[in-house]
């Protein structure tokens, strides 16, 4: 399957990381399920995918509110990241997105715009041996308001010195596409793993 890009001449590509560049969502979900089991906290797969792009700390806080729990955000965040890092040898890139990275690398600047921690994004991109392709990483902690707010994407455009309307966003979640639209950017939606058919 090929990703169909919107018409236009774009001066920068902005990529979400998990589920967009890295086919990491199934691995992240296993890490979440394992760490939350230690706290008897349910986290359905549907909700997990719907919350794609939400920072880790925000997910834990929201689950605390929903389930009346008091999970320590910092401790659970660290444990979840450890469990994810332990599975990195299994990580693969999303081929349909990697194709566009390879095609335009060196021609236009790239940024990663993620709700994940910088450590997690760097670890994923290093594991895929493509960290050097990106001019800047905008991760959790680099902005105040997360997706669907446009701030993360606008931060990336500003760092790259490219006008928002000249940026193309690659995203796998509705929340991410909403953020791109709010930033005045065109976007392409990357289908979830079960909709992508191997060529």
Helix (H) or strand (E) holding 40: none
Residue 28 to residue 96: CA distance in whole angstroms: 20
The separation between CA 115 and the C-alpha centre of its own chain, rounded to angstroms, equals: 6
Tally of CB atoms within 10 A around 69:
14
Residue 20 to residue 193: CA distance in whole angstroms: 10
pLDDT at residue number 197:
63
Cross-strand partners of 108: 105
> Do 14 and 111 meet the contact criterion of CB atoms below 8 Å apart?
yes
pLDDT at residue number 53:
84
Supply φ then ψ for residue 168, to 5 degrees.
Answer: -115, 130
- The domains located in the chain, with CATH, are 12-24+92-195 (3.40.50.1000), 25-88 (1.10.150)
pLDDT at residue number 199:
43
Residue 3 to residue 144: CA distance in whole angstroms: 31
| 45-63-27 Cα angle (round to 5) | 35
Number of alpha carbons in the 13 Å side-chain half-sphere of residue 94: 31
Neighbouring residues of 116: CB distance < 8 A, sequence distance ≥ 6:
17, 18, 55, 56, 124, 139, 140
The separation between CA 45 and the C-alpha centre of its own chain, rounded to angstroms, equals: 16
Per-residue pLDDT of the chain (199 residues; tens, 9 = 90+): 789 999 999 999 999 999 999 999 999 999 999 999 999 999 999 999 889 889 999 999 999 999 999 999 999 999 999 999 999 999 999 999 999 999 999 999 999 999 999 999 999 999 999 999 999 999 999 999 999 999 999 999 999 999 999 999 999 999 999 999 999 999 999 998 778 765 4
pTM: 0.91
pLDDT at residue number 105:
97
């Amino acid at each position: 399957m090929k990703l169909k890009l919107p018409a236009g001449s774009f001066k920068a590509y902005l990529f979400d990381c998990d589920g967009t560049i890295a086919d990491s969502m199934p691995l992240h979900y296993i890490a979440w399920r394992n760490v939350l089991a230690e706290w008897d906290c349910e986290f359905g797969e549907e909700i997990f995918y719907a919350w794609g792009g939400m920072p880790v700390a925000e997910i834990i806080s929201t689950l605390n509110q929903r389930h009346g729990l008091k999970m320590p955000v910092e401790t659970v965040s660290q444990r979840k990241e450890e469990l994810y890092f332990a599975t990195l040898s299994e990580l693969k890139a999303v081929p349909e997105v990697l194709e566009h990275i390879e095609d335009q690398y060196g021609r236009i600047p790239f940024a990663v715009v993620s709700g994940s921690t910088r450590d997690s994004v760097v670890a994923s991109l290093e594991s895929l041996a493509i960290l050097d392709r990106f001019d800047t990483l905008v991760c959790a902690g680099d902005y105040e308001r997360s997706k669907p707010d446009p701030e993360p994407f606008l931060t990336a455009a500003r760092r790259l010195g490219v006008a928002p309307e000249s940026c193309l966003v690659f995203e796998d979640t509705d929340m991410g596409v909403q953020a791109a639209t709010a930033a005045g950017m065109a976007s392409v939606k990357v289908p979830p793993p079960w909709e992508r058919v191997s060529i």
